[in-house]
Chain A
Amino acid sequence: MGIIRRALDLALVAWRAFNRPAGHLSLGFLTIGGFVAGVLWWGGFNTALEMTNKEAFCIGCHEMKDNPYADLKQTIHYSNRSGVRATCPDCHVPHKWTDKIARKMQASKEVWGKIFGTVDTPEKFEAKRKELASHEWARLKANNSLECRNCHSADSMDITRQGARGAEAHQRFLFTGQATCIDCHKGIAHRLPDMTGVPIWTMPQQAAAPH
């Protein structure tokens, strides 16, 4: 008997058992038991999901701890006068459930990167910095800087308390919808990559030219 044949037989037996009405268990046990099992499963799933949504989880890998997290620690989003701070998922994982699941599925590629050591040295990370940053800029541009706006609301922004130049820029570009946060505020939580060719930023031609 071939192995395929045997597997087919096994599948058939399983399907028959699955398809047959319960012989010994009551309907009440099955419905309530199913409900309880569902609650346990869903609770477990969400707990596991939230576990992966913590900074401690992110910097569990040295790739994240030594590169982006080290960057973050020098910025105002880590240390400031009021002690409010942003953790990795605050900016990098959407808060809405469906978007969050979509992002988590995308993150399976990061598991791939971890296994194959795509950015496992500072040099490799530097080489990829522009590409990685570009992904995040594109994401924030596409969702109108949603993760910024989870904390920073244009409505609650009192521009009279801002510097003159910032107030003017926010009035001209942000309030009119002409630009979104990430258009101007790149590199506010991590070191910037080589900004050649990025709008608003320039590089001197001497430094950009290959030597």
Chain B
Amino acid sequence: MQRLVFFALGSVATLALLLVTGWLAPPGGSERADAGGHYTLYAEFADAGTLKPGARVALAGVTVGEVADVQLNARGYRAKVRMRIDQSLDHLAIDSVAIIMTAGLVGEQYIEISPGGHPETLSDNDYIEDTQSAMSIETLIRRRIVRPR
């Protein structure tokens, strides 16, 4: 009887461990999303702040994708951000705005999309043309310092 209890406890612990570490993810989850559940959008910013690959892309506070990479567009000296957006969000208007936000006061930076109302919609590999760059405290201070009073 004692062996049976140990066996049951051991099985439950092993299952919990496998679930926590992701070995027993529900079938078709992230794998299926990677296979075709996303499309790509780009946005360019004058200042990408500390935005990193993997940062979330949100709409109304809900995660709808992630930042795939952040690169320098050497021709215009702007940060070019590639985003992977959930395929279900396939009706974003072309006048949507991509905004670099900070979670809390000193939290990580992420992209919030403010949806537009234009009848035309963005599709794979399109650019969100209207953006709001990251505003750092350092930049704001610097701007005040260089201005004569």
Q: Do A and B come from one complex?
A: no
